Amino acid sequence: MANSDRKRVVVTGLGAITPIGNTLDEYWAGLTAGKNGVGMITHFDPARHDCRIAAEVKGFDALDYVERKEAKRMDRFAQFAVCASKQALADADLKITELNASQIGVIVGTGVGGLKVLEDQQEIYLTRGPDRCSPFMIPMMISNMAAGLVAIQLGARGPNMCTVTACAAGSNAIGEAFRLIQGGYAKAMVCGGTESAITPLGIAGFAACKAVSTCNDDPSHACRPFDVQRDGFVMGEGSGILILEELEHALDRGAKIYAEVVGYGMTCDAYHMTGQIPGGVEAARAMALALQDGNVSPDTVDYINAHGTSTPINDPTETAAIKKTLGDRAYKVAISSTKSMTGHLLGGAGGIEGVATALAIKHSVAPPTINLETPDPECDLDYVANAARSMPINVAMSNSFGFGGHNVTLVFKKYQ
């Protein structure tokens, strides 16, 4: 599609259920204060596990948003998505009616889906037999159900799908929603990511592949992106949802605008199941494609919400990719890993980080990377260490990279 035929797309609503706050205001206050969401696991007894820490959502009650009967038929990952979506729709002051329902769609990404339901039902199967398994097991477990249930709860009958690209899923969801509005296939989209995989099997699986931190004696310092002492990511949970709208649709109804989405790039390493290609060449190409898509010069980028997982491989690889993409500008850009506070939400990461990027533009504040005390010599850029920074942010990028080699970059701009 020629650039002249593309619709402009803006962010008009945001919702967040996170380890550092269960509303948009709480989440942003936590980000700017450098709040740490990591602690000992409470969802189950982790005594047998090598990893006993995570960034759990605290004080969440789905009944604040949905009826008890409906909540019982949702896995936690879907509850998060439904509740964050209702927040975002209210924030956007967007009403879905019979007249516009077919023009409003939903894309919600997740990496794992209903793992808790699967584990619980497996236990029932083994101890009580197959006839005692719940008839709701499959519809509660399957990954697409977050997107389906959000649409049911909101009455959105437009395009609907689920992106399942590991830790890039939330960003892919935002990117694909952006494309649908750009192309005129929808007037508005509810999009983002969700995850709730802090379960015995989820923690055991990531620990077995040596991906997670085992800094059990000091949870608050376990997630330390770009620091030489990092030893793996800390699993988080929650959901981040954005309302994207075609600009004229937003203006016609007098909507507030957080930022404009202008670019979306994705590539694949085609290299390794869990590792990244050396030098981050394909991550760099995703960034370059997103900038090109948005007709944005690398010299104008002010802020990057990094993937920044706190793993030995990701952080120097992403640093190299940023340098490859931006050249000398890389040393002048503020970069932060908000995972240092929220942990890694897997398929939900791109959702809450997209929310953070839009808020950074709106409020002219770059959130910090906390726990950055001894920078890795290979990570020599400006990671906004330990304290938020007030600064003009006109152009920002959000990076997400996933197992399987998925690389996704979104480019946001201040709306003008």
Radius of gyration in angstroms for the set of CA atoms belonging to the chain, rounded to a whole number: 20
Task: Give dist(CA 414, CA 361) in Å, integer.
Answer: 6
> DSSP 3-state assignment of 217?
coil
> DSSP 3-state assignment of 240?
strand
DSSP-derived secondary structure for 317-364: HHHHHHHHHHGGGGGGSEEE-THHHH-B-GGGHHHHHHHHHHHHHHHT
Task: Give dist(CA 355, CA 14) in Å, integer.
Answer: 6
Q: Are 304 and 333 in contact (CB under 8 A)?
A: yes
Q: Is 167 a catalytic residue?
A: yes
Q: Is 83 a catalytic residue?
A: no
Q: Which of 221, 249, 344, 406 is catalytic?
A: 344
Task: Give dist(CA 129, CA 133) in Å, integer.
Answer: 7
Q: Is 307 a catalytic residue?
A: yes
Q: Which of 221, 249, 307, 406 is catalytic?
A: 307
Residue where the block lists tokens 């997400």: 400
Task: Give dist(CA 30, CA 20) in Å, integer.
Answer: 6
- Give, rounded to a whole angstrom, the gap between the first and last alpha carbons of the chain: 23
> By 3-state DSSP, what share of the chain in percent is helix, strand and coil, each rounded to 5?
40, 20, 40
Q: Which of 51, 83, 162, 167 is catalytic?
A: 167
Query: Strand pairing of 395-402 and 303-305?
Result: parallel
Find all residues with CB under 8 Å of 181, minimum gap 6, and list them. Answer: 7, 9, 187, 188, 189, 244, 245, 246
Question: What would the two tokens of residue 195 be?
Answer: 């995850």
Task: Give dist(CA 130, CA 263) in Å, integer.
Answer: 48
Task: Give dist(CA 339, CA 36) in Å, integer.
Answer: 10
Number of Cβ within 10 Å of residue 67's Cβ equals 9
Task: Give dist(CA 294, CA 283) in Å, integer.
Answer: 17
Catalytic site residues? 167, 307, 344
